[in-house]
């Protein structure tokens, strides 16, 4: 991104419409605000977002939108958010409803705020369903107990309940992964998540894969499956990962060969 | 660059990132001086001056308030293994 979008000649004009701020995490001991990335709830590099002057994150720009045009599109959405916020604050109920949908879209609303806002809006049946669809996606903001409690308070149909269960699985995967990492850290090591994810997979705990397949989970399952001579798990993981490599024929072919070899090895072991 | 090359590069980067995240290995820690050198190197990149990027968060927020603008925040790092 630094060599492309951020070096684009158009970035100068765009940056004049905002206050551009770059934060460089340095790991220099004692450096002021070196942990700002984490402080803002982010976990990886690069991250690019819009904030209000209070430093609240309004919108994190997706990886696919890290272009000058993407920045401009994102800014228009954030400007719309600010306009709707002002109107809603002035008592415009239609604006408040549009604001709710937009905040779901921008991802700058908590589960608690969304339910409170929705409750104040007198949503009709179709809107309530739409709202619940989006609330389900916010479940991973919560810890497991809170998520289950909140879930019980939602009137969901069967399809929504099934979808919610997949997001609950995401929380379980996240918590299991976190526990494994903490345990390894206590022992001065880095966690090997392959057996952790593989065990979850064998227990039927699968990620929601929304909005896209969980790359880390499925990569781990695939590698562990190879070690465990488990071609079915390998194949299941590769089905999820294949779209990431759709344009890479040689890697796809390599995976096919590895799967064939694994199937042959499993068959030989049975004999 | 041909699509296949792009795909291959993506695969290599993704694979390396995954391996880096998963392999239980110890990373060699850099000295504070080395971290400082890397930070200074990164801070001197031409795109930072070109885009008039501020590096002080409090100042960015104060400017945004004064000018009635949004903060456009880019998070990156200067260290790498």
**What pLDDT, on a 0 to 100 scale, did the predictor assign at position B80?**
79
Q: How many residues does chain B have?
A: 81
Q: Within an 8 Å CB–CB cutoff, is residue A98 touching chain B? A: no
- Between chains, do A190 and B23 touch, taking CB under 8 Å as contact? yes
**What pLDDT, on a 0 to 100 scale, did the predictor assign at position A270?**
83
- pLDDT higher at A107 or B11: A107
**What pLDDT, on a 0 to 100 scale, did the predictor assign at position B11?**
54
B10 confidence band (pLDDT: 50, 70, 90): low
Q: Within an 8 Å CB–CB cutoff, is residue A55 touching chain B? A: yes
**Regions of chain A where pLDDT drops below 50:** none
**What pLDDT, on a 0 to 100 scale, did the predictor assign at position B52?**
95
**What pLDDT, on a 0 to 100 scale, did the predictor assign at position A162?**
96
Query: What are the pLDDT digits (tens) for B28-51?
Result: 678 999 999 999 999 999 999 999
**What's B54's DSSP letter?**
B
Q: Of B11, B43, B52, which has the smallest distance from its Cβ to A245's Cβ? A: B11
The answer to the question of residue B5 being in a domain is no
pLDDT over 70 (residue B65):
yes
- What's the CA gap between A197 and A221, in Å, rounded? 6
**What pLDDT, on a 0 to 100 scale, did the predictor assign at position B3?**
45
Chain B CA closest to residue A242 = B11
Query: What are the pLDDT digits (tens) for A4-27?
Result: 899 999 999 999 999 999 999 999
The answer to the question of residue B44 being in a domain is yes
The answer to the question of residue B68 being in a domain is yes
- What's the CA gap between A159 and A165, in Å, rounded? 10
Helix axes B3-22, A249-270, angle to 10 degrees: 50
CB < 8 Å from A in window 36-75 of B: 36, 38-39, 42-43, 45-48, 50-55, 57, 60-65, 67, 69-75
Helix axes A231-241, A194-202, angle to 10 degrees: 100
Structurally, chain B folds into a number of domains equal to 1
B26 confidence band (pLDDT: 50, 70, 90): low
E strand or H helix at A114, and its extent? helix A111-119
Q: Of B8, B61, B77, which has the smallest distance from its Cβ to A251's Cβ? A: B8
Contact A45, B77 (CB under 8 A): yes
- What's the CA gap between A184 and B49, in Å, rounded? 42
Give the distance from residue A52's alpha carbon to the nearest chain B alpha carbon, in angstroms: 5
Instruction: Provide the 10 A C-beta neighbour count for residue A40.
Output: 18
Question: Strand, helix or coil at B62?
Answer: helix
**What pLDDT, on a 0 to 100 scale, did the predictor assign at position B33?**
93
**What pLDDT, on a 0 to 100 scale, did the predictor assign at position B1?**
42
The answer to the question of residue B18 being in a domain is no
Q: Within an 8 Å CB–CB cutoff, is residue A11 touching chain B? A: yes
State the complex-level ipTM.
0.78
**What pLDDT, on a 0 to 100 scale, did the predictor assign at position B15?**
54
Query: What are the pLDDT digits (tens) for A232-267?
Result: 999 999 999 999 999 999 999 999 999 999 999 999
Q: Within an 8 Å CB–CB cutoff, is residue A159 touching chain B? A: no
Chain B CA closest to residue A177 = B22
Q: How many beta-carbon pairs below 8 A join chains A and B? A: 190
Contact A111, A141 (CB under 8 A): yes
B69 torsion bin: left (phi>0), alpha (psi -120 to 50), beta (else): beta
- pLDDT higher at B3 or A52: A52
E strand or H helix at A22, and its extent? strand A19-25
- Between chains, do B54 and A192 touch, taking CB under 8 Å as contact? no
**What pLDDT, on a 0 to 100 scale, did the predictor assign at position B39?**
94
Contacts of B55 in chain A (CB under 8 A): 21-24
Q: Whole-number mean pLDDT of chain B?
A: 79
**What's A44's DSSP letter?**
S
Q: Of A2, A27, A51, which has the smallest distance from its Cβ to B70's Cβ? A: A51
Give the residue numbers spanning the domain of B71: 34-81
**What pLDDT, on a 0 to 100 scale, did the predictor assign at position A37?**
96
Per-residue 3-state assignment (H helix, E strand, C coil) for A125-153:
HHHHHHHHHHHHHHHHHCCHHHHHHHHHC
**What pLDDT, on a 0 to 100 scale, did the predictor assign at position B81?**
60
Give the distance from residue A56's alpha carbon to the nearest chain B alpha carbon, in angstroms: 10
The answer to the question of residue B46 being in a domain is yes
The answer to the question of residue B81 being in a domain is yes
């Amino acid at each position: 991104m630094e060599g492309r979008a951020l070096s684009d000649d158009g970035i100068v004009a765009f940056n004049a419409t905002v206050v551009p701020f770059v934060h460089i995490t340095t790991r220099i001991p004692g450096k002021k605000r070196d942990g700002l990335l984490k402080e803002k709830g982010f976990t990886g590099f690069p991250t690019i977002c819009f904030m209000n002057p209070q430093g609240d994150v309004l919108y994190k720009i997706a990886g696919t939108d890290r272009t000058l045009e993407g920045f401009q599109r994102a800014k228009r959405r954030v400007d719309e958010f600010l306009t709707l916020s002002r109107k809603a604050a002035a008592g415009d109920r239609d604006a408040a409803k549009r604001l709710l949908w937009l905040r779901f879209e921008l991802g700058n609303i908590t589960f608690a705020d969304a339910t409170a806002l929705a409750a104040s809006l007198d949503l009709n049946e179709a809107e309530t369903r739409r709202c619940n669809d989006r609330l389900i996606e916010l479940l991973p903001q919560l810890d497991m107990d809170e998520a289950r409690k909140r879930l019980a308070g939602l009137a969901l149909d069967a399809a929504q309940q099934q979808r919610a269960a997949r997001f609950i699985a995401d929380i379980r995967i996240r918590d299991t992964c976190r526990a494994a990492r903490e345990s390894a850290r206590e022992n001065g090591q880095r966690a090997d998540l392959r057996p952790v994810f593989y065990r979850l997979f064998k227990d039927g705990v699968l990620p929601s894969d929304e909005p896209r397949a969980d790359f880390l989970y499925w990569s781990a399952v695939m590698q562990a499956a190879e070690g465990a001579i488990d071609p079915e798990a390998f194949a299941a993981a590769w089905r999820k990962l294949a779209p990431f490599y759709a344009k890479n024929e040689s890697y796809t072919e390599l995976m096919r060969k590895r799967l064939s070899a694994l199937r042959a090895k499993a068959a030989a072991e049975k004999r | 660059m041909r699509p296949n090359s792009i795909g291959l590069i993506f695969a290599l980067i993704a694979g390396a990132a995954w391996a880096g995240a998963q392999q239980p290995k110890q990373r060699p820690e850099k000295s504070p001086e080395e971290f400082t050198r890397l930070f200074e190197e990164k801070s001197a990149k031409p795109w930072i001056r070109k885009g008039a990027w501020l590096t002080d968060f409090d100042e960015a927020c104060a400017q945004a308030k004064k000018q009635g603008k949004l903060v456009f925040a880019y998070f990156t790092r200067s260290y790498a293994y």
